[in-house]
Amino acid sequence: MDISIYQHIWFFIIGFLLTVYSILDGFDLGIASLMPALAKNEKEQKQVMDSIWPVWDGNEVWLITGGAALFAAFPFAYATVFSGFYLALMLVLFALIFRAVSMEFWYYNETRRKVWAWAFTIGSVLPALLFGVALGNVIYGIPLDLNMNFTGNFFTLLRPFPLVIGLLGLSAILLQGCTWAAYKIEGDVAKRAKSFMNKIIIANAVLFILAIALTIALLPSIVSNVFGWLGALTYAIALSYVHVSNRGNRPFNAFIGSSISFVSLWIMAGAALYPNLVRSTIEAYNLTIFNASSTQLTLKIMFIIALIGMPIVIAYTMYVYKIFKGKIS
Amino acid sequence: MDVVMLSRIQFGLAAGVHFIFPSLTLGLTLLVLLLEYKFYKTNDELFKTVSSFFIKMLGLVFALGVATGIVLEFSFGTNWAEYSRMVGDIFGAPLAAEGIFAFFMESVFLGVLLFGRNKVSKKVYLLSAFLVFFGSHLSGLWIIIANSWMQTPAGFAIEGGRAVLTDFFAAALNPSTLVRYAHVIIAGWISGSLFAAGVAAWYLIKQQHTKEAQTILKTAIIIFCIMSLVQFVSGHIHSVQVTNLQPEKMATFEALWETQKGAPMSIIGIPVESEKKTYFEIKIPKLLSLLAYFDPDAEVKGRDAFPEDELPPVLLPYFSYHIMIGLGSLFALISLIGLFLLLRKKLFDAKWFLYVLVFAIPLPIIANEFGWIAAEVGRQPWAVYKVLKTVDAVSTIVPASHVLLSLIIFSFIYLLLIVLFITILLKIIKKGPQAESY
């Protein structure tokens, strides 16, 4: 097979890994971000944590694997983005450290539960926001030089378009968390999640429309992409479905709707980027799946590894989710 | 300080702190697997109680391992962008394979161990214990593959200014992978088993949880005794491999300034690099030649055989290497005494020995850290041995001030993590093994 086939395959596999990551870790990050609004006492905080405790670290592995796959398949894109977004990614790391340990510390360090509950929430809000900002930047275009190096600074990353994408990503993650809370937890937490959900749906819709408007205004070249519009259509339907399901008291359906809306966002992001991985403000310096990739042999071996490994991962992950089916009371 | 030094310190800090947790994980997952197997076979609740006790700690250790591990994966891109560009074609694959084959398995089934005791059958629970054990050990293999490739790179060619893969198996099973893997896994088992033995010894001294403590101590001390003796063998094989494939590294470990026949082994001393002399040195004549080549008169290359700009610094690798070996010898001694007491059936009553076990708890971790410092600093000035220098591996666009800032914040965060880790661990230990789990 020609190398470009593998380059395409890896564009899709990484997209797949990040999509599953945002669905699964999305509900972890989302419910943690919403904890101050959902849980009013330590018992309810424990319910929130119990709803994700057995699965959160497995969920985070989708990010770790997605990052490693990007490194292995497109090392030039990995190197450019990670070094270019240095301070922002350090912030993500500090946050992820705290969110990873905060549950254990909350559980055992009873006298400082307030601190660890906030660490849990802030450690989740920050990555939820910054992942989208980073994605918004590589879609919108960042200043790159001839050597694929980022020439902007921290504030370059905070332009309006990436910020809107960041907020859209955050609100999508909040929706994942909110629908998960409504589905997984019984009692007052679920009630609050249900009444809160409409506000988040509205936030999603407003930010989505804003993002579309900005895309039309700022990125005219990608407006004609059919897959992008198909994604937008699915998104609109899925978001409405979340609303209808919530009103009809079917929290699991709402969660599925929210997950599909997230998939749609990734389809749009993929359509907006393809075949680029990192758009440059100077088009000639774009990092694409062609100029940023590893060699054919590496891509091929990695593909075999993924082909053997991923179906097994998906099978036992589904099995373990089944084990922990049922509501937290 | 320049950006290279700051980036090295930050990576060293991040990897050094991280390394505490996976090595404990290796040992604890082995212990849990053995205890679960005994519970499955005998149906004796005692094993279940003890196993649940260690699973609780494993949960804490693992959470810290994840928190500190993700930093490393990001670091190759954030701080070592040129490295990633130069060797990403080879180095990224084992990291991705680790995720796909091992880390998913470890994380997902640890969830079952921590929260699924009453939700799955005994068989599935035992299987989960096995998969967590297997996943963590497989995970270690991929990481060691990646790291060993930096030590003894193979299976690649330089094309268009970057290293490209030519033979996957040659790269993965490069000349140092297997011996380094064995060395690290055994080190993990020593760390975990001595940790468990120390905790049990503490209960026996305090006369608490006596039955549980005896069960733990018996299992743990057997693992510890065998492994600390086996580690001598693996350490020896590893040293021979380093002497052959990275001779300047061994010359540095031993502060062997000049190439010589019948080279001595340095036991202790103060090497001064600028004077190329070792002060107050105690050495055993011809031992280095004998150990490296099975010939007391064989020639061993000294530091003078290599260009100055391809030599590692002496002081840190020398002391790290010797502290590691010193501690390893101490473990062997503790093992022999432990075995003797076990056979004489006096293990549970020899109070002085129980105290030794308690105070020895942190020592394997310290030995691991120094072993790793010796291996990594001993590879300098190379990031990838003879392929890419560390100064050429750093991100060119990240200013030193940014790295300094992140380094300061990391230092505070890691200090906090370690303090809390120890505090909570002590809390769990104080509570002791109990019939229920959280």
For residue A269, how many other CB atoms are within 10 A of its CB? 22
How confident is the model over A269-288, as a mean pLDDT?
93
Residue B333, by phi and psi: left (phi above 0), alpha (psi -120 to 50) or beta?
alpha
- Beta-carbon separation of A309 and B423 below 8 A: no
- Beta-carbon separation of B71 and A97 below 8 A: yes
Token duo for residue B246: 């990275």
- Beta-carbon separation of A105 and B73 below 8 A: no
CA-to-CA distance for A38 and A111, rounded, in angstroms? 21
The string of pLDDT tens digits covering residues B83-133 is 999 999 999 999 999 999 999 999 999 999 999 999 999 999 999 999 999
Query: In terms of pLDDT, which residue wins out, B64 or B438?
Result: B64
Distance of CA B220 to the CA centre of its chain: 19
Around B309, how many Cα atoms within 13 Å sit in the side-chain half-sphere?
3
Mapped onto helix, strand or coil, the DSSP state of residue B18 is: helix
Around B189, how many Cα atoms within 13 Å sit in the side-chain half-sphere?
25
The string of pLDDT tens digits covering residues A27-63 is 999 999 999 999 999 999 999 999 999 999 999 999 9
Cα distances (angstroms) measured from residue B267 to each of B70, B320, B371: 38, 13, 16
CA-to-CA distance for B66 and A188, rounded, in angstroms? 32
**CB A89 within 8 Å of CB B103:** no
Number of A/B CB contacts below 8 angstroms equals 217
Report whether pLDDT(B173) > 60.
yes
Indicate the pairing of strand B260-261 with strand B299-300.
Answer: antiparallel
Distance of CA B265 to the CA centre of its chain: 24
CA-to-CA distance for B437 and B329, rounded, in angstroms? 38
Cα distances (angstroms) measured from residue A4 to each of A158, A290, A293, B165: 33, 7, 10, 18
In this prediction, residue B434 carries a pLDDT of 83
Candidates B185, B184, B194, B183; CA nearest to B362 is: B194
How confident is the model over B333-346, as a mean pLDDT?
92
For residue B204, how many other CB atoms are within 10 A of its CB? 22
Q: Is A326 exposed, middle or buried (0-12, 13-18, 19+ CB in 10 A)?
A: exposed
CA-to-CA distance for A309 and B105, rounded, in angstroms? 10
Q: What DSSP designation does B99 have?
A: I
* Residues on chain A touching B92 (C-beta within 8 angstroms): 68-69, 71-73, 75, 78, 294, 298
Residue appearing with tokens 């699915």 = A234
- The stretches of B246-350 forming alpha helices (DSSP H) are 247-253, 287-293, 315-343
How confident is the model over B45-64, as a mean pLDDT?
94
Cα distances (angstroms) measured from residue A103 to each of A51, A80, A96: 12, 33, 12
**3-state percent helix, strand, coil for chain B, nearest multiple of 5:** 75, 10, 20
Residue appearing with tokens 């060119």 = B396
- Beta-carbon separation of A294 and B95 below 8 A: no
Around A3, how many Cα atoms within 13 Å sit in the side-chain half-sphere?
13
- Beta-carbon separation of A108 and B428 below 8 A: yes
Cα distances (angstroms) measured from residue A41 to each of A36, A49, A116, A189: 9, 12, 13, 10
CA-to-CA distance for B403 and B9, rounded, in angstroms? 10
**CB B60 within 8 Å of CB B2:** no
Residue appearing with tokens 């090295």 = B8
Q: Give chain A's end-to-end CA distance (angstroms, integer).
A: 53
- DSSP string spanning B117-186? TTTS-HHHHHHHHHHHHHHHHHHHHHHHHHHHHHHS--SEEEETTEEEES-HHHHHT-TTHHHHHHHHHH
The beta strand positions in chain A, using DSSP E, are 276-278, 287-288
CA-to-CA distance for A292 and A80, rounded, in angstroms? 10
Mapped onto helix, strand or coil, the DSSP state of residue B239 is: helix
Q: For chain B, what percent of residues have pLDDT higher than 70?
A: 99
* Cβ neighbours of residue B310 closer than 8 Å, sequence gap 6 or more: B248, B381, B382
Token duo for residue B13: 């800090």
Around A172, how many Cα atoms within 13 Å sit in the side-chain half-sphere?
35
Residues present in chain A in total:
329
CA-to-CA distance for A213 and B289, rounded, in angstroms? 74
Candidates B58, B122, B76; CA nearest to B383 is: B76
* Residues on chain A touching B71 (C-beta within 8 angstroms): 93, 97
Token duo for residue B391: 């100064």
Residues 278-317 of A with CB under 8 A from B: 294-295, 297-298, 301-302, 305-306, 309-310, 313, 316-317
In this prediction, residue A326 carries a pLDDT of 85
The string of pLDDT tens digits covering residues B120-155 is 999 999 999 999 999 999 999 999 999 999 999 999
Report whether pLDDT(B160) > 90.
no
Mapped onto helix, strand or coil, the DSSP state of residue B11 is: helix
Whether residue A275 is preceded by a cis peptide bond, meaning omega within 30 degrees of 0, is yes
CA-to-CA distance for A294 and B88, rounded, in angstroms? 7
Q: For chain B, what percent of residues have pLDDT higher than 90?
A: 93
For residue B210, how many other CB atoms are within 10 A of its CB? 13
Banded model confidence at residue B436, pLDDT cuts 50, 70, 90: low
Interface residue A229 vs chain B (CB under 8 A): no
Of the partner residues B104, B395, B423, the one whose CB lies closest to the CB of residue A313? B104
Token duo for residue B168: 């996957």
Can you give the pTM of this predicted structure? 0.94
CA-to-CA distance for A107 and A123, rounded, in angstroms? 16
Interface residue A15 vs chain B (CB under 8 A): no
Calculate the average pLDDT of chain B.
94
Candidates B291, B307, B282; CA nearest to B250 is: B291
Interface residue A152 vs chain B (CB under 8 A): no
Banded model confidence at residue B438, pLDDT cuts 50, 70, 90: very low
**CB A141 within 8 Å of CB A280:** yes
CA-to-CA distance for A151 and A91, rounded, in angstroms? 20
**Helix axis angle, B3-42 to B177-206, nearest 10°:** 60
- Beta-carbon separation of A68 and B73 below 8 A: yes
**CB B108 within 8 Å of CB A54:** no
The string of pLDDT tens digits covering residues A201-238 is 999 999 999 999 999 999 988 888 899 999 999 999 99
- Beta-carbon separation of A317 and B108 below 8 A: yes
Q: Is B275 exposed, middle or buried (0-12, 13-18, 19+ CB in 10 A)?
A: exposed
Residues present in chain B in total:
438
Of the partner residues B60, B88, B427, the one whose CB lies closest to the CB of residue A79? B88
Report whether pLDDT(A98) > 50.
yes
Rounded to a whole number of angstroms, the CA Rg of chain A reads 20
Helix (H) or strand (E) holding B268, with range, is: strand B265-272
